Structures are given as C-alpha cells and as structure tokens.
C-alpha cells in the first residue's frame, strides 16, 4: 500500500491528514455514532412520554404505539453503534498500518534516514505511538457525538423547564473548561513517558542483541545498569502520567457528579411543586444520568488528545529527518559508467583525486578512521563535497543528481560495520536468488564463507538471527563480503573487509577477490579501503592517504619502501 510522499511537519498536520485520508469511513462512522448518541438521549425522553400518555392514562393503544417506538429506537441505537464502530475500527487500523509503513519506508527506504534513534526507539514509534495516534480518530467521533447528545438534552430540558435547560446549557461548558486545567499536565507527562519508554526499549534491544560480545568483554553489568537507570526514568514518567490522568478522572467525576446532582435536585423540586409531570421528571432524571457519560467522555477526549498529539509530534519529527543519501532525477543509462573523485574536499579530506580505471583492483590506505568513513560516505552519496570543491561524478554526472537506483545499481559499498538480517545463510548472501550453484560456490570460495557453511549441518540453509548474533565477528564479516561479491556490481567498494579474520584467511580472501572479480579481461572495478598487506599486495595500484590528502601512489611493493606507508599498514 503506497504511503504519502510528503510527511506532515507538525503534530496537528499529521492528525489532520489521518482524518482526511480516511474521511469516507470516518464520515460514516461519525454519523452513525452521533445517531447512536441521539438515540441514547431519546430513551429517557420516550420513557417519560410512555408514562404520561399510556401508563398514567391507562390507554393501551398509546402504550402499543409508544412501546413500538421504543423498540424501534433501541433497534436503531444498536445497529448504529454496531456499524459505526465497524467503520471507525477499520479506519483506525488502516491509519495505524499506514503510519507503520511510513516509519519503515522512511528508515529502510533506498535513501535511508539520518536519525540518531536506536532501533528499539524506532520500533516504539511504529507501535505504541502509531496506536495512540490511531485511537484519536475514534475520540474525535465520540466528541462530536457527545456534543450532539448534550445539545439534544439541553433542547429537551429547555422545552420541559426553562430554568433547568439554562442550567445545563451554562453548566456543561463550565465543567468542561474546569476539566481542561489538567490537560497540559497530561500532555507533558505523556510526552516524557513515551520518550522514556522508547529509549528504554532501544537500550533493551541493543542489550539483548549484543549480549554475547558484552559478556566477552565483561561489560554486561555496565550495560544492565544503563538499562536499569533508563527503565527507572520511564517508570517514573509512567507514574506521573497515571497520576495526572487520575487527577483528570477525579476532577471529571467530582464536577460532573455535583452538576448532575444539582440538575436532579432542581427537577425534584419542580415535580414536588407540580410544575412538571411524573413523566417529565423521569425524563429529566434519565437525561441527567445520560449526561454523565458524554461529559466524562469529553473529559477523557481531552486527555486522549493530549496523548495523541504528543505521539504525533514525535512521529512528525522522525518523519521529517533528512535522508542519508542525496539523490536527483537523472537516470544513468551507461552500464560502463566510471566513478571519478577529482580534487575533492569534504570534512577531513582535502584535494583527494581518485579515479579507478575499468577492471582495476585499487587499494586505498587511509591513516585515520574519520577520513576513511568520509570517503565511504562520499561514494555512497551520503555527503557532498564542501561548497562544491572538487568533483564526485559517475558517468560524468554529479552523484547527487542521479537517482538512487542509478547509483546503487552501479556502485555497491560494503561498509566495515554491516547489518545481517534474519533468514537463512543463502537468503542473506543471495537475497534475490539469482545465483546458480556454480556462481554461489565461487562467491563462497572468494569470501572464505565456505568455512561458515561447512560448520553447520544445514549448510546454506542454516538460520541467521537478526544481527547474526550467533556468529563471530570474523564469520559475520565473511558473510557480508560474500553478499557484496554476489552482487557482481560494476564498481564494488569494500571498507576493511578482513579486519576480523586471521592472516591465513585474509590471504585466501585476497586471492579470492582477485580471482573472482579480476580475471584477465574483466571490466569489474574494485576499490578496497584497507590496511591489510595481503589485500594491498593483490591490488593493481595503491593510494596512500595521510592527514586527509593523497601523498603517494604505486604498487604495494613500491610503497613499502616509505616509512609512512609501513606505519599505516603494519601498525
């Protein structure tokens, strides 16, 4: 199901959009719920009519007529609520589903999302916050129905007794205004509560996912204490929210109770004075009891609105975060397009000039991680040259002017820190299932991931949990390398692909990459950002980046004569 392209920029805009895009279902829902509330208000009125016209007079014909009207009223009441609720629930569930899709599309789409939220915090947005926003759609209808029910009650009471009707018309708004005193408190506490729960969920998710490496370094106690602190903050925020909501419920109950007692007392005195009939007294008492529900509902709606707007604000802020990768509208048709980084300046990099030729295995040695990370992000299109200093082009087009598909179909970047998703080993390495057995075997051989396959009786069908927590760092690195090699990308950029493997495996991988991607006559290009002597020795050419600048170029053998190169490679 497609989601909206432009994300709302504010909580109010997001809430309005939710109502507008389900307007047909909600219009039917609200109309039927209002009909239900009107019927609820008419029940005591009709009972009063039956008493005055049939019971008090003993007229069986009137009893049959008005009794039938009461039965019809209950039928309409029942079915209006039934079908109104169906439409409302359908709209609520659809809105929550679309919000979840938007969260997923925003963070998992081709451009990504530049957000600092932990995975658990993002999950909380897509679950509890989306549900809170969806519930608001129902409360809007209930608010409208409550207002309609109160208006009808006031009209009936005015016709029965002007004084009582005026008390209702003036008293209900006063009660509602007084109830709103605690609404800002609820909004503030709810926002703190949802944010605290999201952070605690994020920390818990990271703790469970990384428990094995934490145990390996003896840091599980520190991580657990961090979760305890955040969990306690979330607990305290939840208690404050429950307290403020309790204040609102208590204030609503007390004020509405006093108000309804006043109306009942006035009606009783009028009946004792003979100003109204028994049937009218029953209608007034029944309407008084009926009014307790919409008044309480209106008070709860204000609290629900406060919670929903707090969640909507967080969700709108998340959807408004910028993409990781910049993109344009230019479609690149050249299958042999070459990447050129010319005299480029960005962050710690200065006047960097990298232009791998077609079919080349290029090694890049970078002496600091900041420069290495910036170079990788530049190639991925996540950052741009500062003030357009230098060129970053693919096929002669600036990278940021290309569509995401044009860039990613020709350039694949395998970062040092990779994500492996839940599934099987085969679905992780070859998610599109486009490799035949021979090609898959070649990829496994080149990445040394065949060892991982052979360690499990299920081989390629062995399961991989989210994050591949059951595998060692070296095994995860080889699986990720196999996945990158399986793409057969025209330009493949590998960032430290062997940092977690032993020297013998590293040599096998260097030979494997050379054999798989660079046999004689190959048009595939590979750039390896590494300090591994084995990988650098297999490269056709090596660039040395020192203090953000390229200071030397040549073969590994030639550059090994330089002290700065030896310091970077052998450190």
> What is the 3-state secondary structure of 441-460?
HHHHHHHCCHHHHHCCCCHH
CA distance 518 to 529: 17
Q: Which tokens is 19 given?
A: 């109502």
Residue of 423, 474, 485, 484 whose CA lies nearest to 452: 474
Give the position of tokens 């009223």.
73
Q: Which tokens is 257 given?
A: 């109770």
Q: Do both 359 and 289 map to the same domain?
A: no
Q: Do both 558 and 452 map to the same domain?
A: yes
Residue of 542, 411, 395, 540 whose CA lies nearest to 487: 411
DSSP 194-261: HHHHHHHHHHHHHHHHTHHHHHHHT-HHHHHHHHHHHHHHHHHHHHHHHHHHHHHHHHHHHHHHHHHH
Note the pLDDT of residue 246: 75
Residue of 128, 235, 242, 258 whose CA lies nearest to 182: 242
Asked if the structure places residue 427 within a domain, the reply is yes
Q: Do both 284 and 381 map to the same domain?
A: no
CA distance 235 to 241: 10
Q: Do both 301 and 402 map to the same domain?
A: no
Q: Do both 264 and 349 map to the same domain?
A: no
Q: Give Cα 375 distance to the centre of its chain.
A: 29
Give the position of tokens 């145990």.
215
Give the position of tokens 């070859």.
430
Asked if the structure places residue 328 within a domain, the reply is no
CATH label of the domain that carries residue 544: 3.40.50.300
**Residue that terminates a domain, selected from 265, 290, 319:** 319
Q: Do both 310 and 400 map to the same domain?
A: no
Q: Do both 402 and 453 map to the same domain?
A: yes
Q: What is the pLDDT of residues 12-21, one digit of tens each?
A: 999 999 999 9
**Residue that terminates a domain, selected from 290, 319, 348:** 319
Asked if the structure places residue 327 within a domain, the reply is no
Asked if the structure places residue 326 within a domain, the reply is no
**Residues 329-336: contacts with CB within 8 Å, 24+ apart?**
329/401, 329/403, 330/397, 330/401, 330/402, 330/403, 330/406, 331/402, 331/403, 331/405, 331/406, 332/394, 332/395, 332/397, 332/402, 332/403, 332/406, 332/407, 332/410, 334/395, 335/410, 335/490, 336/490, 336/523
Asked if the structure places residue 356 within a domain, the reply is yes
Asked if the structure places residue 333 within a domain, the reply is no
391 three-state secondary structure: strand
Asked if the structure places residue 325 within a domain, the reply is no
Straight-line distance from the first to the last Cα atom of the chain, in angstroms, rounded to the nearest whole number: 52
Q: Which tokens is 357 given?
A: 């030729």
CB 449 within 8 A of CB 472: no
Q: Do both 294 and 403 map to the same domain?
A: no
Q: Do both 447 and 302 map to the same domain?
A: no
Q: Do both 479 and 356 map to the same domain?
A: yes
Note the pLDDT of residue 290: 81
Note the pLDDT of residue 210: 61
Asked if the structure places residue 344 within a domain, the reply is yes
The range of the structural domain enclosing residue 22 comes to: 11-319
CA distance 125 to 103: 8
* This model's pTM is above 0.85: no
| Angle, CA 321 vertex, CA 316 and CA 322 arms, to 5° | 145
Tally of helices (H runs) and strands (E runs) in the chain: 20, 12
CB 111 within 8 A of CB 404: yes
**Residue that terminates a domain, selected from 273, 291, 319:** 319
Note the pLDDT of residue 530: 94
CATH label of the domain that carries residue 16: 1.20.1560.10
CA distance 261 to 264: 5
Q: Do both 272 and 152 map to the same domain?
A: yes
Cα–Cα distance list, 439 to 436, 452, 546 (Å): 5, 17, 38
Residues facing residue 526 across a β-bridge: 361, 492
Q: Do both 265 and 362 map to the same domain?
A: no
Per-residue pLDDT of the chain (571 residues; tens, 9 = 90+): 444 456 788 889 999 999 999 999 999 999 999 999 999 999 988 998 898 888 888 888 888 998 899 999 999 999 999 999 999 999 999 999 999 999 988 888 877 777 877 777 788 788 888 998 998 898 899 889 988 988 888 888 888 888 877 877 777 777 767 766 656 665 566 666 666 666 676 667 666 666 556 565 666 777 777 778 877 887 877 787 777 777 777 777 787 778 778 877 887 787 777 778 888 888 877 887 787 778 777 767 777 787 788 889 889 989 888 887 777 888 888 877 888 888 888 888 988 888 899 999 999 999 888 888 888 888 887 777 766 667 888 888 888 888 888 888 899 999 877 778 888 999 999 988 899 999 999 999 999 999 989 888 888 999 887 777 778 888 999 999 999 999 999 999 999 999 889 999 999 999 999 999 999 888 999 999 999 999 999 999 999 999 999 999 999 999 999 999 988 887 5
Count of domains forming the chain: 2
């Amino acid at each position: 199901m497609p989601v909206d392209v432009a994300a709302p920029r504010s909580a109010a805009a997001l809430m309005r959009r939710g109502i507008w895009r389900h307007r047909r279902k909600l219009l039917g829902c609200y109309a039927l719920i209002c009909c239900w509330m009107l019927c609820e208000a008419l029940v005591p009125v009709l009972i009063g009519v039956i008493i005055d016209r049939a019971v008090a007079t003993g007229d069986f014909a009137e009893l049959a007529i008005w009794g039938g009207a009461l039965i019809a009223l209950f039928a309409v009441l029942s079915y209006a609520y039934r079908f109104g609720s169906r439409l409302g629930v359908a709209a609520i569930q659809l809105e929550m589903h679309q919000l979840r899709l938007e969260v997923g599309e925003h963070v998992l789409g081709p451009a990504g999302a530049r957000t600092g939220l932990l995975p658990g915090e993002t999950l909380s947005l897509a679950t509890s916050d989306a549900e809170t926003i969806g519930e608001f759609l129902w409360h809007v209808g209930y608010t409208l129905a409550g207002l309609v029910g109160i208006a009808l009650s006031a009209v009936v009471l005015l016709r029965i007794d002007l004084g009582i009707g005026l008390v209702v018309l003036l008293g209900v708004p006063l009660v509602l205004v007084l109830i709103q005193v605690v609404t800002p408190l609820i909004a503030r506490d709810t926002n703190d509560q949802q944010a605290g729960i999201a952070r605690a969920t994020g920390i818990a998710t990271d703790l469970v996912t990384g428990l094995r490496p934490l145990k390996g370094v003896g840091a599980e106690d520190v991580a657990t204490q961090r979760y305890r602190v955040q969990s306690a903050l979330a607990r305290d925020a939840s208690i404050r929210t429950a307290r403020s909501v309790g204040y609102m419920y208590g204030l609503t109950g007390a004020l509405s109770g006093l108000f309804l007692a006043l109306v009942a007392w006035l009606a009783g005195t009028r009946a004792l004075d003979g100003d109204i009939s028994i049937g009218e007294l029953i209608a007034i008492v029944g309407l008084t009891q009926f009014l307790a529900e919409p008044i309480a509902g209106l008070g709860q709606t204000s609290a629900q609105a406060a919670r929903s707007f707090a969640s909507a604000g967080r969700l709108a802020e998340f959807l408004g975060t910028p993409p990781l990768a910049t993109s344009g509208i230019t479609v690149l048709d050249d299958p042999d397009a070459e990447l050129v980084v010319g005299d480029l300046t960005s962050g710690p990099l200065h006047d960097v000039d990298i232009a791998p030729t077609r079919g080349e295995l290029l090694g890049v040695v970078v002496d600091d991680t900041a420069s290495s990370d910036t170079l990788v992000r530049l190639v991925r299109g996540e950052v741009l040259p500062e003030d357009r200093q230098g060129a970053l082009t693919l096929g002669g087009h600036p990278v940021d002017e290309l569509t995401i598909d044009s860039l990613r179909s020709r350039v694949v970047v395998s970062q040092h820190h990779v994500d492996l998703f839940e599934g099987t080993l085969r679905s992780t390495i070859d998610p599109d299932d486009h490799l035949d057995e021979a090609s898959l075997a070649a990829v496994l051989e080149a990445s040394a991931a065949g060892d991982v396959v052979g360690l499990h009786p299920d081989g390629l069908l062995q399961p991989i949990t989210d994050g591949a927590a059951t595998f060692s760092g070296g095994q995860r690195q080889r699986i990720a390398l196999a996945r990158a090699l399986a793409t057969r990308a025209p330009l493949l950029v590998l960032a430290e692909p062997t940092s977690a493997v032993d020297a013998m495996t590293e040599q096998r991988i260097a030979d494997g990459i050379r054999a798989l991607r660079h046999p004689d006559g190959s048009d595939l290009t590979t750039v390896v950002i590494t300090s591994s002597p084995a990988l650098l020795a297999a490269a056709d050419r090596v660039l040395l980046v020192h203090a953000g600048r390229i200071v030397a170029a040549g073969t590994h053998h030639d550059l090994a004569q330089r002290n700065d190169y030896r310091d970077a490679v052998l450190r």
